[in-house]
Homo-oligomer: A and B are copies of this chain.
Amino acid sequence: MFNVLVVEDDKELRELYCTVLSENGYNSLPASDGEAALEVLDHQYVDIIICDIMMPHMDGFALTRALREAGFTLPILMITAKDSMNDKQEGFRVGTDDYMVKPIDIREMLWRVAALSRRAKIINDRRLVLGSTVLDYDCMSATVSGIDVPLYQKEFFLLYKLASSIGRIFTRRQIMDEIWGMDSEADPHTLEVHVSRLRERFRDNPDFEIVTVRGLGYKVVGKS
């Protein structure tokens, strides 16, 4: 059973989300702000976080930052108010795993939680299969048709993240935040170097391809 932590200061909404999630087979854990969320996380394993941005004491961004700094890599679904997104491209820059805009369509939420569950499951399984290519988190290694492709740690994390949601664009920011940490001072070009090295290693791979999305980031797409 999946544990979903719902961080929302509005009591009505929080209870609504929790009820709907519970009705659909998730185990929901309510928290009224970021600090309360951290408290829950201390005592309970959590698979996914749903989190409003605007909250008292500790808002969604602060919570995300705190979690990533502490090494949590679980998927975070952010909820934003419509006005806080004035630009179309803003959506890509938010820096979490997924986001929704208020007013929330409850079915949409379920759909997104399901999608993130798949990712969380992949993270938990520690194993990702793309055709004949297998990424094994514990060995930190990739095999193509049984043949081992050695990867450096950073390369592996990067590929694992990109490949955990085929087709989805991850912005440089998202990737850097999760793999290098929120407050990393690392040169953004480092990411490009790793991508380059990954492409070199999987040059003739029949299963997937790392595609550049100019001005935004990268995505992994399957070769058909």
Residues of A within 8 A of B (CB): 10, 12-13, 16, 20, 41-42, 45, 47, 70-75, 81-82, 87-89, 91, 100-106, 108, 120-121, 123-126, 137-141, 153, 157, 160-161, 167-169, 178-179, 181, 213-216, 219
Contacts and interface: CB of A to CB of B under 8 A. Distances in A.
A105 B124 contact: yes
Contact of A140 (B41, B137, B216): B216
A140 B179 contact: no
Nearest to A102: B73
Given A10-B71, A88-B157, A124 B100 contact: yes
B75 A214 contact: no
Which residue, of A13, A105, A216, has the highest number of chain B Cβ atoms within 10 A? A105
Contacts of A73: 81-82, 102-103
A181 B139 CA distance: 24
A88 B178 contact: yes
Contacts of A153: 213-216
